[in-house]
Amino acid sequence: MELLHSKILGEGKPFIILHGFLGMSDNWKTLGSQYAENGFQVHLVDQRNHGKSFHSPDFDYELLSQDAINYMDHHGIDSAYVLGHSMGGKTAMQLATSHPERVEKLIVADIAPKFYPPHHDFIFNGLSKLNFDEISNRREADEELAKHIQDMGIRMFLLKNLYWVEQGKLGFRFNFDVLKDKMSEIGENIAPTAIYEGPTLFLRGDRSEYIMPNDYPELKRHFPNSEIETIDKASHWLHAENPKQFFEKSLRFLNS
């Protein structure tokens, strides 16, 4: 059994944070430190095929959920608060509905339990143009990626995944080939009968279309003890675009 890589911050009630698609635990380092300062033992986890965790050709939400259970078992965590963003939110929902006794409270950031059609083609098309036999530094990688992805924020997010495979040779930490092949899995809905009755907070960006008002009945059906809060001046990367409000609303829920 392979275990997920993580960074553990602070002492207190275990709080597991699951990043989004093509992200990594480092994306949550600043917020994670703030939670740790407020009495939580924060586990910033790299999901399989991401960050420093293991690579595998198998990739779906049941497996990602089981990875989290294996991680909790290894660290002696009977139950934890769990926060997941985007793909990590789907993992967190799968974890909570499959193993409700392991989740004290659930926070889902800007994702609904519904199916989302694949929509990352433009990202993989851009990433596929990066020839690391010719690109020798991050600036050159950004210049090439900018030809295909105009949004600087998305490029910076993606380029955090670059690392030195060997001296003078860059590469991606995420498993490019498997994630490109499994894009349809990323958008999968959770099972129609899946229910988690524990306290749940959905956080949505006011500029995001991932959670819309017509999704609210489905959120309540799967998570009957849930509330929905909106983060102002934020799109899908709400935790990075308005971290102050994200932290305040999530901490209030955790401490309630």
> Domains in the chain, start-ordered, CATH in brackets?
6-116+188-255 (3.40.50.1820), 121-181 (no CATH)
Q: Could you count the other beta carbons within 10 Å of the beta carbon of residue 167? A: 5
In the block, tokens 């609904």 appear at 112
Which among 131, 130, 120, 135 is positioned nearest to 23, based on CA atoms? 120
- Please spell the DSSP secondary structure of 123-152, one letter per residue: HHHHHTT--TTT--SHHHHHHHHTTT---H
Instruction: State the Cα–Cα distance between residues 135 and 123, nearest whole angstrom.
Output: 18
Q: Find how far residue 255's CA is from the centre of its chain.
A: 22
Q: What is the pLDDT of residue 193?
A: 93
Helical (H) or strand (E) element with 17: strand 13-18
Instruction: State the Cα–Cα distance between residues 172 and 165, nearest whole angstrom.
Output: 8
pTM of the predicted model as reported, rounded to 2 decimal places: 0.96
**Mean per-residue pLDDT pooled into runs of 10, the chain (256 residues):** 96 98 96 98 98 97 98 98 98 98 98 92 92 92 93 91 91 95 91 96 97 96 98 96 98 97
**With contact defined as beta carbons under 8 Å apart, do 232 and 245 qualify?**
yes
Q: What is the pLDDT of residue 184?
A: 87
**Active centre residues (catalytic):** 86, 177, 236
**With contact defined as beta carbons under 8 Å apart, do 250 and 242 qualify?**
no
**Residue 143: what residue type?**
E
Q: Could you count the other beta carbons within 10 Å of the beta carbon of residue 224? A: 12
